[in-house]
A and B are shown apart, each in its own frame.
Chain A
Amino acid sequence: MAANMKEHTDLGGDAIRVEQDDKGILTLTLDMPGRSANVLNDQFSVPFAALIERIESDDSVTGVILTSGKKNFMVGADIDGLFAVTDPAVALQMAGDFKAMLRRLECCGKPVVAALNGSALGGGLELALACHRRIAINDPKAKMALPEVKLGVLPGGGGTQRLPRLIGIQAALPLLTEGKELSPEKAAKQGFIDELADDADDMMRRARKFIEGVIESGQPATQPWDQKGFKFPGGDSKHPAQGHMWPIAPAMMNQKTRGNYPAPRNIMSAVYEGGLVDFDTALKIEGRYFAELVVSQESKNMIGTLWYQFNKINKGESRPQGVEPGQVKKLGVLGAGMMGAGIAYVSAKAGIEVVLKDVEQAGAEKGKAYSEGLEDKAIQRGRSTPDRKKAILDRIKPTADVADLDGCDLIIEAVFEDRELKGKVTEETEAVMDPKGVFGSNTSTLPITGLATRSSRPDQFIGIHFFSPVEKMPLVEIIVGEKTSDETLARAFDYVQQIRKTPIVVNDSRGFYTSRCFATYVMEGIAMLAEGQHPRAIEQAGLKAGMPVGPLALEDEVSLSLSLHVMDQTRKDFEAEGKPYAPHPAEPTVRKMVEELERPGKKAGKGFYDYPEGGKKRLWPGLAEHFPLADEQLSQQEMVDRLLYAQANETARCFEEGVVTTAADANIGSIFGWGFAPFHGGTLQFTNSVGGPAAFVSRARELAGRYGDRFAPAAILEKMAESGDRFEAS
């Protein structure tokens, strides 16, 4: 193709390469210097605007191919620009400029083809949607998506208008409100990719063919929505087909969002109202809803945590500097129960050789069978293949023989939460494993420093705390013991990234970080029950607070007997250390449920809920008798505040005590670890979300006055309230 090129211009600045062939077709290759991916920012849009001018005015230009010199086409807007905006008028202008540019491009009359060599995300896909043809290389790994909703905003470059006009309102809505990622093939099935190409050459060939076809037709290239008599596929918002969908759409959305997320609501509004008016008016409507989201607290929370802080973690903010990156080659997992089996699976899936050891060979085999079951399901859903399944299973060696752990460079023990047992397996394993290797404990409750006393190499001993079910939960909490070395921490950190999970790093303490703060949520729910609040209202408040499951249902899942066991252990430990033990007000209720009412949780088929076989769980009617309703029933908002403030305040205490040391670890840990309300940006960001430490402290004091000292604001927050400091918000 280079042979056809007759011209190079520098109109594209250094971000866009411009070439024109002998047929007058202009190829614009986006290739922003100093970046691994193209993004939508001034570096792109300034030269792009100049190029559009040329496309419009230069008669020698017959058509345009837009493609990328990077692995991907374009991966979205520049988040920094968006995050900084606090004035809706500025947001409106920003989106307006971009849309005006796209509008000129699609109205220039000359055929413009988006040649998508890789992923087109967010603003990148919006750019492609403003082209007259989209041709993508059929690479199943490439993603086509408008994921803005995940950061609390909407596609403000006309995405909420072009997509429904291309594929219909009902097909577009889930892509917009959930930010679903589609492969080019699936996007083609949905109708917003026009052609699939075998490779880059095929893609460019097809692009030229399309342009030549348009030129031959003698007709100007136009978008469907600019043609007379345009009709939405499947009908516009007035169409009866939509008349059945719109009334229930918000209810369906709220099943997931509980009214906490303005972005999907505004997306629906933009699509609905945009579907009643002409295209240019529709763009204006989209812009106003976009601007509201850009400046919303929710989007600031979500971008700050789920983008900036998440990226910080993945870039190793909490990983010791100067330790060479490493990869685990042979992992030993001790204990083939649900946790051990899950750890074996995700590790084998990441290509690591795994020795799965249990006391009995049969137990180890059963643990391996867990992987087989997961892979069978994945194959059924088209997410794996028999070959992949075999490769994964071949990497897992089930055994009862400790000698098989020979040479393991990482051990993770996931045996029963018993100090003596853990000590024993530590000793026998260290005798055979790679002496330079790391020993990790998957304990969720026992302090690491204590466990490390049974290790002959306490500097190589660390906590690697997984969440259940391992294959689904994205977080791993790494716990640094008193003697854990930097090298060991780096090894553990790298391993977690190797299995494609997100590591947070915390210091040793009872319950570490996640278990300790998570517990405040369920315990607050149980305390309210004990006070005579309606159990159903407590559960509703949990959902309304933005938590994935109500506190009572969650405690049933965890099991009341396990909670009681931890409480008793804690009491004993405190007594042994001569420290005063102040039980949580929920403790007597947990005890009563387990010991007197014999309802230890879901596993037993009875806890706060009944679990009828084959039926839906239902709150146990006996609660009414044993926890009679108080005269004063709290408002939902009061309950929501109690549930959220309890978690945030405990997190601030953890920060104060040095258990967590970065806002990123605290926030990401809370969202990925136990599902803390993402729209608040995590437990520490919650203090900013409600208006900053001063506002938090004032409300927390109010709650402390009514419900007890656990709400007395952490000292660090009181200090911040005075100084005006805030926890890091990005």
Chain B
Amino acid sequence: MSEALIFDAVRTPRGKGKKDGSLHEVSPVHLLKNLFDAVQTRNELDTSQVDDVVLGCVTPVGEQGADIARTAVIYSGWDERVAGVTQSRFCASGLESVNLAAQKVRSGWEDLVVAGGVESMSRWPMGSDGGAMAMDPRVNDAMGFAPQGIGADLIASIEGFSRDDVDAFAVRSHQRAAAAREDGRFGKSLIPVRDVNGLVVLDHDETIRPDSSTEALGGLKPSFEQMGQMGFDDTALAKYPTVESINHVHHAGNSSGIVDGASLVLIGSEDKGKALGLKPRGRIVSTAVTGTDPTIMLVGPGPSSKKALDKAGMKASDIDLFEINEAFAAVVLRAVRDLDIDIDKVNVNGGSIAMGHPLGATGAILMNTVLDELERQDKQTALITLCVGGGMGIATVIERV
């Protein structure tokens, strides 16, 4: 059985996901083309050798619809024999792409696969694809549907995370991201987005606030209090009957940012790597997905990480660095508790609160960020995990080679 080796990992900077965001003027396919170009050039890649492109996209409608993976392959001028598939595992889609690619390679049925994802949240807002989960009343009812933010606030209520706790974590994210950017730690993977003329549109993560403070965040109004009172709080409390009330602590400043961005990872077998002269940087050790209660929705990182660690025959203490997606501050704090790990090993260069969470792309971004950091610190192992819509969780263990 071949190892699934990571040869390269790239990403775009993340642009604010609104009309005034720098990447709003860039189409999602063009975001991807920037990265396809980079992967081809950096690796002097004969693209005909790539079997498949697996991309995550959570809102695959409009110009993100109709299999944007295959669309981007052709638009980027790669060999027409390269296939493409687009999938959604909600927020895990980017990492799901990595895991699927690794499974394709480890099965021996494919040799070289590009994995990644894309999301232009400014152009195709979250939820614009509908879905029975929220929209169909009887499905919604059967699930005990509540928006993510209610789940995050429920976690904080159960765990006793105060507004100060979650705000302090948000400040940490910004401070670490700012320091990492200052230190040039993102340089290895970050590919500036250029227009059709080759002119740079954006070359840095746009939403980091180096001056973020708990004082400033303290002034923000909780985002989910009103909808909670309209009914969602009771949905949550009915499932968690010992919780006295929902403490609404999350707001725009301690939740992941809405941004535009894309990411790609080149994954292949040892033989293919040797044949093409690709230098392996790491390997995918194990992967896991799992499901938990869909109402609290965001507690999947703990159990999915344990599952991936079990599969690898490892313990959390064997991991040098963790990337736990900062969907909401409480999600990370809860996962740290569930895994009983030192928070200083977690999201050392900041995360989605500071830099944003382009839904379909994030998982692969986290992977390339932590791989870069392993190399910088000369450490060996990392675990990437995300909470996922519908109550799922995903995790991937990687190791440098």
Q: Which residues in A have some Cβ–Cβ distance to B below 8 Å? A: 237-238, 243, 246-255, 258-259, 265-266, 268-269, 272-273, 534, 536-537, 540-541, 543-544, 618-619, 633, 636
Contacts and interface: CB of A to CB of B under 8 A. Distances in A.
A255 B241 contact: no
Contacts of B146: 251
The CB with the most chain B CB atoms within 10 A, among A237, A273, A536, is that of: A536
Interface stretch (B134-142, B272-280, B352-360): B134-142
A254 B231 contact: yes
B142 to A, nearest CB: 9
Given A540-B238, A633-B242, 10 more contacts: A246-B136, A247-B145, A250-B138, A251-B146, A253-B141, A255-B234, A272-B137, A536-B241, A618-B245, A619-B244
B141 A248 contact: no
Contact of A259 (B135, B141, B241, B242): B141
A248 B136 contact: no
B222 interface: no
Contacts of A541: 241
Given A243-B135, A247-B140, A269-B137, A254 B241 contact: no
Contacts of B241: 534, 536-537, 540-541, 636
Interface string B171-200: 000000000000000000000000000000
A534 B158 CA distance: 14
A254 B235 contact: yes
Contacts of B313: none
Given A536-B242, A619-B244, A251 B135 contact: no
The CB with the most chain A CB atoms within 10 A, among B147, B244, B245, is that of: B244
Contacts of A636: 241
A4 to B, nearest CB: 50
Given A243-B135, A248-B230, A272-B137, A258 B242 contact: no
B7 interface: no
Given A536-B242, A619-B244, A251 B235 contact: yes
Contact of B141 (A265, A273, A534, A619): A265
B130 A248 contact: no
A249 B134 CA distance: 10
A541 B140 CA distance: 22
A254 B237 CA distance: 12
20 contacts: A238-B130, A243-B130, A246-B134, A246-B136, A247-B140, A249-B140, A250-B140, A251-B234, A254-B231, A272-B135, A272-B137, A534-B241, A536-B241, A536-B243, A536-B244, A537-B242, A540-B238, A541-B241, A544-B238, A618-B245
A246 B140 contact: yes
Contacts of A537: 241-242
B227 interface: yes
A99 B178 CA distance: 66
Contacts, number: 80
B322 interface: no
Contact of B231 (A243, A246, A252, A534): A252
A251 B145 contact: yes
B232 interface: yes
Nearest to B137: A268
Contacts of A536: 241-244
Nearest to B135: A246
A247 B134 contact: yes
A563 to B, nearest CB: 24
Contacts of A237: 135
Nearest to B235: A251
A252 B230 contact: yes
B150 to A, nearest CB: 9
The CB with the most chain B CB atoms within 10 A, among A251, A255, A258, is that of: A251
A540 B234 CA distance: 10
Interface residues on B, range: 20 to 34
B62 interface: no
Interface string B200-237: 00000000000000000000000000010011101101
A541 B241 CA distance: 8
Contacts of A249: 137, 140
A246 B137 contact: yes
B341 to A, nearest CB: 29
B376 to A, nearest CB: 43
Interface string B228-267: 0011101101100111110000000000000000000000
Interface string B123-163: 00001001000111110110001110000000000000000
A618 B140 CA distance: 29
A314 to B, nearest CB: 35
Contacts of A619: 244
Given A251-B145, A254-B231, A243 B137 contact: no
Contacts of B237: 540
A636 B237 CA distance: 12
Contact of A251 (B127, B231, B243): B231
Contact of B138 (A247, A251, A269, A544): A269
Contact of B238 (A258, A266, A273, A534): A258
A272 B137 CA distance: 7
Nearest to B134: A247
Contacts of A540: 237-238, 241
A272 B238 contact: no
Contacts of A544: 238
A572 B145 CA distance: 53
A265 B138 contact: yes
Given A258-B238, A544-B238, A248 B138 contact: no
Contacts of B141: 250, 253-254, 259, 265
Nearest to A533: B242
Contacts of B242: 534, 536-537, 633
Given A243-B127, A248-B227, A536-B243, A254 B238 contact: yes
A554 B105 CA distance: 63
The 8 closest A-B pairs by CB, nearest first: A251-B231, A540-B241, A268-B137, A247-B134, A537-B241, A252-B231, A250-B141, A534-B242
A287 B50 CA distance: 53
A401 B130 CA distance: 71
A618 B243 CA distance: 12
A573 to B, nearest CB: 38
A248 B231 contact: yes
Contacts of A269: 136-138
Contacts of B238: 254, 258-259, 540, 543-544
Interface string B17-58: 000000000000000000000000000000000000000000
A249 B136 CA distance: 10
Contacts of A273: 136
B301 to A, nearest CB: 24
A537 B245 CA distance: 12
A251 B227 CA distance: 10
